[in-house]
């Protein structure tokens, strides 16, 4: 086996693995050894810590010729068995990953019934489709990731102990940015800045001022790598025409950096009202599910379903499905008031061409809100998803 990759020998696309310090050196060493093994790997990492990118790196360095197939356990439901293991004459993702790697993202959300099938796959190297009696050999690598403590979830009765023991035979822990050494974080920022300059620059590279670097080193980065990448990318894109040096205020970080609760004010551009955003420590950060539920509860009285979905960056169908999952029914009373208001406005002598497009969409949403949930469910029962490769 070759020596583990050092900072000098990382590929250009492996910048996210850069960083001095013992924690990152240990991660690179263990990841290099794990890539050459056939054992299942469990990746622990906080929000935004590039768990999926680590899975891709392991697959790329494993020498496997087949593809990496990804399955998001966050969106799994009672159909997870069929999606993963197939149904009758329809193959599942396990068969699609034959000879390659099956990556299970956020495995803590995998249903218990599917966990049992996965355990049999890992122990017996066999797979059987749902409602089928024949088991077939399965040769593939399984990589799973989570940001949750699986031991605690097992104690709550939501995770199989045997599966936990099987997955934890080979673990990788991605340290959050808040635990990186300052030299290591500085090196990572320099790598990212160079990369983003090449992608979004106009020939003149932007640099970080001392105040900007100090703000970055003192910030807690609850969103980890994804937040850091987005921050640098935004600063370069928005200020490249007016300055060649990124100052601290251009980063648009919280006014008081650190690990305590802080507050920032969102931009008032495009007539948007200032929004207070509370940031918390890494251990108290909001999960995506918590953020979704909070956003819905805070804004559903003022926004239509279309507008809510657009703000969340998802489709109306996806918004409806997640409402069902989290037990957040639509506010029919609010939608009815919108419908009444739309009806009264339609009686006024206003030319049709003068109707605002957004109001027209809201009126449609008000009508949609009167459709029974069963009818909307039936409209979306056809599952046309195919195995997706990273």
Least confident segment among 78-82, 89-93, 312-316, 337-341: 337-341
**Is residue 57 predicted with pLDDT exceeding 90?**
yes
Least confident segment among 21-35, 229-243, 269-283, 370-384: 269-283
**Residue 331: its pLDDT value, please?**
61
Give CA–CA dist 388/238, Å, rounded. 34
**Residue 290: its pLDDT value, please?**
67
Closest of 267, 254, 176, 243 to residue 216, by C-alpha: 254
Task: Assess contact for 114 and 80: CB atoms under 8 A.
Answer: yes
pLDDT one-digit tens code per residue, 94-119: 999 999 999 999 999 999 989 999 99
| Overall average pLDDT of the 319-325 stretch | 78
| Overall average pLDDT of the 283-292 stretch | 53
pLDDT one-digit tens code per residue, 139-180: 999 999 999 999 999 999 999 999 999 999 899 999 999 888
**Is residue 7 predicted with pLDDT exceeding 90?**
no
Give CA–CA dist 9/1, Å, rounded. 16
| Overall average pLDDT of the 33-42 stretch | 94
pLDDT band at 261 (very low <50, low <70, confident <90, very high): very low
CATH fold of 178-279? Helicase, Ruva Protein; domain 3 (1.10.8)
pLDDT one-digit tens code per residue, 73-86: 976 676 889 999 99
Least confident segment among 96-110, 175-189, 240-254, 260-274: 260-274
User: Among all chains, which residue has been given the structure tokens 């559903």?
Assistant: 300
Angle at 221 between CA 216 and CA 225, to 5 degrees: 95
**Is residue 229 predicted with pLDDT exceeding 50?**
yes
Give CA–CA dist 88/95, Å, rounded. 13
**Residue 171: its pLDDT value, please?**
95
**Is residue 359 predicted with pLDDT exceeding 70?**
no
Give CA–CA dist 159/111, Å, rounded. 8
Domain spans in the chain, listed from the N-terminal domain onward: 7-175, 178-279, 288-379
**Is residue 260 predicted with pLDDT exceeding 60?**
no
> Superfamily for 7-175?
P-loop containing nucleotide triphosphate hydrolases (3.40.50.300)
Least confident segment among 132-141, 255-264, 265-274: 265-274
Tokens of residue 20, six digits: 């001095």
Closest of 216, 169, 215 to residue 191, by C-alpha: 216
DSSP 33-57: HHHT--S-EEEEE-TTS-HHHHHHH
Tokens of residue 150, six digits: 């699986």
| Overall average pLDDT of the 381-386 stretch | 39
Task: Assess contact for 138 and 125: CB atoms under 8 A.
Answer: yes
| Alpha helices (H) along the chain | 22-35, 51-60, 80-85, 93-96, 112-124, 150-155, 161-167, 182-200, 210-218, 224-239, 288-299, 305-312, 316-326, 332-346, 357-368, 373-379
**Residue 157: its pLDDT value, please?**
94
pLDDT band at 383 (very low <50, low <70, confident <90, very high): very low
Instruction: Tell me how far apart the terminal alpha carbons of the chain are, to the nearest angstrom.
Output: 27
Per-residue CA distances from 229 to 50, 196, 216 (Å): 11, 8, 12
């Amino acid at each position: 086996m070759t020596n583990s990759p050092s900072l000098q020998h990382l590929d250009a696309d492996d910048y996210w693995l850069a960083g001095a310090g013992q924690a990152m050196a240990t991660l690179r060493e263990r990841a290099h050894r794990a890539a050459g093994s056939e054992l299942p790997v469990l990746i622990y990492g906080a929000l935004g810590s590039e768990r999926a990118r680590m899975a891709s790196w392991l697959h790329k360095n494993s020498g496997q010729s087949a593809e990496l197939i990804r399955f998001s356990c966050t969106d799994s439901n009672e159909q997870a068995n069929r999606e993963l293991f197939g149904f009758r004459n329809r193959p599942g993702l396990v068969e699609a990953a034959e000879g390659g790697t099956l990556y299970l993202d956020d495995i803590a959300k995998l249903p218990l019934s599917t966990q049992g099938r996965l355990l049999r796959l890992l122990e017996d190297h066999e797979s059987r489709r749902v409602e089928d009696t024949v088991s077939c050999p399965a040769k593939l690598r399984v990589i799973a990731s989570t940001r949750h403590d699986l031991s605690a979830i097992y104690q709550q009765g939501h995770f199989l102990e045997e599966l936990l023991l099987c997955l934890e035979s080979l673990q990788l822990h991605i340290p959050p940015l808040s635990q990186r050494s300052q030299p290591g974080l500085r090196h990572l920022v320099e790598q990212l800045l160079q990369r983003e300059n090449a992608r979004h620059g106009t020939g003149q590279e932007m640099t970080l001022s001392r105040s900007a670097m100090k703000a970055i080193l003192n910030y807690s980065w609850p969103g980890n790598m994804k937040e850091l990448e987005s921050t640098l990318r935004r600063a370069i894109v928005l200020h490249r025409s007016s300055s060649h040096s990124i100052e601290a205020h251009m980063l648009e970080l919280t006014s008081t950096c650190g690990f305590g609760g802080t507050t920032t004010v969102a931009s008032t551009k495009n007539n948007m009202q200032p929004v207070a955003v509370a940031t918390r420590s890494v251990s108290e950060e909001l999960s995506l599910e918590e953020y979704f539920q909070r956003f819905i509860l805070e804004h559903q009285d003022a926004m239509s379903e279309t507008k809510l979905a657009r703000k969340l960056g998802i489709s109306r169908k996806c918004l409806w499905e997640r409402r069902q999952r989290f037990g957040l029914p639509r506010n029919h009373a609010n939608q009815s008031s919108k419908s009444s208001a739309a009806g009264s406005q339609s009686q006024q002598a206003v030319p049709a061409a003068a109707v605002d497009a957004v109001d027209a969409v809201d009126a449609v949403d008000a009508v949609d809100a009167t459709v029974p949930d069963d009818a909307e469910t039936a409209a979306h029962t056809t599952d046309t998803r195919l195995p997706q490769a990273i």
